[in-house]
Amino acid sequence: MASLRMRITGMTCGHCVSIVEEALNGVEGAIAVFVELPDVADVDYAEEKATVEQLVEAVTDKGYGAEVVD
C-alpha cells in the first residue's frame, strides 16, 4: 500500500469535498480517501492497481486542480 497527499485547488464547500472524494474513491485501487477544506486530499492506494497519475486525473476530470505534495 502507498500513500500520497494532494493539494486540491478550487474546493470551496462541502459539496466540492464530496465530489473530490467520490472521484478518488472511483479509482480502482483506492483504499482510503480523506479530503478536507481548504485544499487537502490524503489517499491510501494499492500501487499494483492505481497510479499517482490516475488519482490526479480523477480530480482534474471533475474540474479541480490537483498536485502531489511531499
Interval 34-55: pLDDT, tens: 999 999 999 999 999 999 999 9
Please compute the mean of the pLDDT values over residues 18-33 and round it to a whole number: 98
Query: In the predicted model, is pLDDT for residue 31 greater than 80?
Result: yes
| pLDDT band, residue 70 (cuts 50/70/90) | confident
Q: Mean pLDDT for the chain?
A: 97
Please compute the mean of the pLDDT values over residues 20-25 and round it to a whole number: 98
Residue 32 is part of which domain span? 2-69
CATH number (domain holding residue 27)? 3.30.70.100
- Radius of gyration, CA atoms only, the chain: 11
In a 10 Å sphere around its CB, with 0-12 CB exposed, 13-18 middle and 19+ buried, how is residue 69 labelled?
Answer: exposed
The whole-number pLDDT of residue 63 equals: 98
Q: How many structural domains comprise the chain? A: 1
Over 24-64, what HEC string results? HHCCCCEEEEEEECCCEEEEEECCCCCCHHHHHHHHHCCCC
